[in-house]
């Protein structure tokens, strides 16, 4: 840090390009969208910035509140599933031999090499009426001669509903949960686990009293990395969900693309952003509490 203070020109020479990029291509467009949220739609393409709060008040209509609550519910379910599924995976990776650990980490990061749109379309082939899942179930149904007892096989409705949306979001964001939890478990002081074993604690008791509390920071990071993107998801619900599985991201996209009501879409976007900022403000409190717990031990 002192070296940067001794050579401020070097610091500014390295930092200015990135700062310029963020200001011009992120903050300035974001500012225009924020101003647009206080505007009124006049005609097809004309928008007048009048300072009105009508767009924000309209967002509290029961219809949009219902979609928002559904979005929060789906996002919470997705986050819980990612933590429950991802923590054992991260635990196994952290305690694997170094050579095996490298391959397991590669398997976790492999989905990042494939475009999310392609992965989502692949789920359509898996879940559709004549997809791989229903085809396999139909084959097992016939193999076990269940048609004689229950009649012909009826394909499961696995697409264009909330199940498909939840599964798709978990499928896409699970690596974002595994990696921070793995980092937290990998940094764990193994001598504490050995001491607990020497004192006669069972593995389950050691996990509940030592491993889990000391890796809360990784769990908190995983919650944020999954919950916040899940709130704004619109591509996965658009492709895998039906009309009853639309999330707030789909409503925002529809305001910009179909309804051509940019002020209302901007207001919805910033309400979602304000909620995101509120969630981000909670993380330092959780990390600080976890740090106090570690210090007490």
The CATH architecture one would assign to domain 63-296 is Orthogonal Bundle (1.10)
Place of tokens 């269940």: 146
Report yes or no: 179 and 148 within 8 Å, Cβ to Cβ: no
Which pairs count as long-range contacts for 259-264, CB under 8 Å and 24+ apart, including other chains?
A: 260/41, 260/44, 260/45, 261/41, 262/36, 262/39, 262/41, 262/47, 263/36, 263/37, 263/38, 263/39, 263/40, 263/41, 263/47, 263/55, 264/41, 264/55, 264/58, 264/59
Report yes or no: 177 and 82 within 8 Å, Cβ to Cβ: yes
User: What tokens does 22 get?
Assistant: 């963020």
Report yes or no: 81 and 166 within 8 Å, Cβ to Cβ: yes
Q: Closest Cα partner for 81 from 184, 160, 166?
A: 166
Tens of pLDDT, residue by residue, the chain (297 residues): 456 667 677 777 788 888 899 999 999 999 999 999 999 988 767 888 888 999 999 999 999 999 999 999 999 999 999 999 999 999 999 999 988 999 999 999 988 888 888 999 999 989 988 888 999 988 998 888 888 788 888 888 889 999 999 999 999 999 999 999 999 999 988 888 888 888 888 888 888 888 888 898 899 899 989 999 999 898 999 999 877 788 999 999 999 888 889 999 999 999 988 888 887 777 677 666 655 655 555
**Could you give phi then psi for residue 284, rounded to 5 degrees?**
-55, -35
CB contact set of 55 (below 8 Å; sequence gap of 6+): 37, 38, 39, 263, 264, 266, 267
**Could you give phi then psi for residue 48, rounded to 5 degrees?**
-110, 125
Report yes or no: 52 and 40 within 8 Å, Cβ to Cβ: yes
| Distance of alpha carbon 110 from alpha carbon 253, whole angstroms | 29
Summarised one tens digit per residue, pLDDT across range 143-175 is: 888 887 888 888 888 899 999 999 999 999 999
Summarised one tens digit per residue, pLDDT across range 103-131 is: 999 999 988 888 888 999 999 989 988 88
Q: Tell me the sheet residues that pair with 48.
A: 40
State the DSSP code for 297: -
Report yes or no: 252 and 268 within 8 Å, Cβ to Cβ: yes
pTM for the whole structure: 0.86
Q: Closest Cα partner for 213 from 94, 297, 92?
A: 297
- The residues spanned by each domain of the chain are 63-296
Instruction: Please give the helix or strand (H or E) that residue 275 lies within, else none.
Output: helix 262-296
| Distance of alpha carbon 41 from alpha carbon 257, whole angstroms | 14
């Amino acid at each position: 840090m002192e070296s940067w203070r001794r050579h401020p020109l070097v610091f500014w020479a390295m930092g200015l390009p990135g700062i310029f990029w963020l200001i011009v291509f992120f903050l300035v467009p974001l500012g225009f969208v924020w101003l647009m949220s206080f505007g009124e739609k006049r005609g097809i393409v004309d928008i007048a910035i009048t300072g009105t709060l009508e767009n924000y008040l309209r967002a509290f209509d029961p219809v949009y509140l219902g979609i928002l609550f559904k979005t929060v519910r789906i996002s919470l379910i997705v986050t819980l599933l990612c933590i429950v599924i991802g923590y054992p995976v991260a635990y196994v990776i952290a305690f694997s031999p170094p050579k095996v650990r490298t391959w397991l980490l590669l398997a976790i990061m492999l989905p990042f090499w494939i475009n999310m749109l392609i992965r989502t379309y692949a789920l359509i082939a898996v879940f559709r009426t004549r997809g791989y899942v229903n085809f396999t179930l139909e084959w097992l149904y016939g193999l076990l001669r269940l048609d004689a007892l229950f009649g012909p096989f009826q394909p499961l409705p696995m697409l264009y509903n909330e199940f498909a949306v939840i599964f798709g979001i978990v499928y896409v964001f699970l690596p974002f949960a595994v990696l921070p939890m793995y980092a937290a478990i990998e940094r764990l002081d193994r001598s504490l686990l050995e001491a607990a074993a020497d004192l006669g604690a069972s593995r389950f008791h050691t996990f509940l009293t030592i491993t889990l509390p000391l890796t809360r920071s990784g769990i908190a990071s995983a919650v944020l990395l999954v919950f916040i993107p899940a709130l704004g998801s619109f591509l996965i619900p658009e492709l895998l969900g039906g009309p009853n599985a639309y999330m707030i991201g789909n409503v925002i996209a529809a305001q910009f693309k179909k309804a051509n009501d940019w002020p209302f879409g901007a207001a919805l976007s910033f309400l979602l952003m304000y909620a995101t900022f509120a969630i981000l403000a909670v993380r330092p409190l959780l990390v600080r509490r976890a740090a106090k717990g570690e210090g007490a031990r």
